[in-house]
Amino acid sequence: MSNQCKVNQELSDWIITQRRYLHQYPELSHQEKHTREYLKSRLEELALVPTSYTGKDVVADLHGDYPGPVFAIRADIDALEINEETNLPFASKNVGYMHACGHDGHMAIVLGVAKLLSTKRTQIHGTVRFIFQHAEETVPGGAEELVKSGVLDDVSAIVGCHLWEQLEKGYVGFKEGPLMAGADRFEVTIQGKGGHGSMPHLAVDPVLVSTHAIQQLYSIVSRQLNPLHPAVLSIGELKMGSSYNVIPDKAFFTGTVRYFDPIIQQSIRESIQTMLDGVCTSFHASYDWKYEVGEPPLVNDPSLTSFVEKEANKIVSLEQIVQAEPSLGGEDFAHYTNEVPATYFFLGIGEKGHSFGHHHPKFDIDESMMIVGTEILSQAALTYLSAKE
Ligand code: NI
């Protein structure tokens, strides 16, 4: 075994230790207090000076020995309100909360980059900024707050990655252009006229109106949009009535809209309005609705993406590098992609038939992929900040 491998094994073990510790203490979005303290201590051990742009994030700059641009690397740090069922020896000690998306792994990966690069300052022309971002799982989320507070003002490029269950273990997925969808929320209140279940002719039944409306809304994606432009509209919540023989007064439902192209977003939004108008008119009901624009689509910068992909090939074989499949999931890294050249890639941890999806109570990561992430990010940073001819 070469010396290089030995060093990497040590680093890999260290990264796994960090991940297992963080996994035991998951904290919800905007409440990542203990996590922040832990990250700060680890960064201080590496002779870095952690700071915070919003009071909820942790950011540390690693200055090279020479001047140059700022290359940022982002990890998200929040967990979810899920009761862990993995039976791992290092399972969550915060009952009801769980790192069920892999953000524990992301923190460990980026701590690993900090540890590795802190020994290579003589090769760095510029600064590596480590951004440990709070509240990825909520809207509004941490990325938006960080961008507003100026974390990217002097940054030339930013990179992030996600341990990804939908990609087979061992593979690394890159994609130029749109990777993750824009994710909006809408809510609708249908106002009918309540009455006795035996006398529907005297009432305006919001049960009937809302179910008609929902059926029509589901036809927007299948019948009104170009099938070559991916989009989703899903209703996740429907509330009405409280008694079997009473026609309720109103109905309430909420849903999500996912898209890659803002023109599609606009067209869905208009169609929802048109359909609500039409359905409610036809049943003599009225409605009130609200459309909330959420995370924008995550669009990878083509040249930065191909740069990081090339650097990744110094770490993993060409066969392991694949085109990432876009996801209609939202990811607030998108806010960074709107500001500076940015790229986000996937580290495959999936095992068909064996692994559980993100946000599942039995979700777990393949820890051996963390060192791969650390090495790719470190390699990309080093080359980006190497001496220019
Ligand atoms: Ni996530």
Domain containing residue 120: CATH number? 3.40.630.10
268 in any annotated domain? yes
Catalytic residue among 78, 84, 295, 331: 78
223 in any annotated domain? yes
Answer for the pair 73, 63: CB distance below 8 angstroms, yes or no.
Answer: no
Domain final residue pick, 227, 260, 295: 295
Ligand 1 centroid distance, CA of 133 (Å): 12
Q: Which residues, given as ranges, of the chain have pLDDT below 70?
A: 1-7, 389
pLDDT of residue 389: 55
Overall number of domains in the chain: 2
Answer for the pair 349, 366: CB distance below 8 angstroms, yes or no.
Answer: yes
98 and 66 in a common domain? yes
Structure token pair of residue 150:
């100026």
103 and 76 in a common domain? yes
Catalytic residue among 57, 76, 84, 136: 136
pLDDT in tens, 338-370: 999 999 999 999 999 999 999 999 999 999 999
217 in any annotated domain? yes
Rounded CA-CA distance 137/143 in Å is: 10
Domain final residue pick, 295, 310, 326: 295
345 in any annotated domain? yes
309 and 166 in a common domain? yes
Answer for the pair 197, 245: CB distance below 8 angstroms, yes or no.
Answer: yes
198 and 143 in a common domain? no
Residue identified by tokens 């002779």 is: 47
pLDDT of residue 279: 98
186 and 252 in a common domain? yes
> CB 277: neighbour CB atoms within 10 A?
11
Ligand 1 centroid distance, CA of 120 (Å): 30
Domain final residue pick, 267, 295, 323: 295
Ligand 1 centroid distance, CA of 251 (Å): 33
Rounded CA-CA distance 294/139 in Å is: 7
389 in any annotated domain? no
Residue identified by tokens 């832990």 is: 38
Residue 261 among the catalytic residues:
no
225 and 301 in a common domain? no
1 in any annotated domain? no
203 and 89 in a common domain? no
Residue 78 among the catalytic residues:
yes
DSSP one-letter code for 319 = G
Domain of residue 248 covers: 182-295
pLDDT of residue 139: 86
Answer for the pair 385, 125: CB distance below 8 angstroms, yes or no.
Answer: yes
172 and 34 in a common domain? yes
Answer for the pair 376, 315: CB distance below 8 angstroms, yes or no.
Answer: yes
If DSSP codes are grouped into helix, strand and coil, which group holds residue 35? helix
pLDDT of residue 140: 85
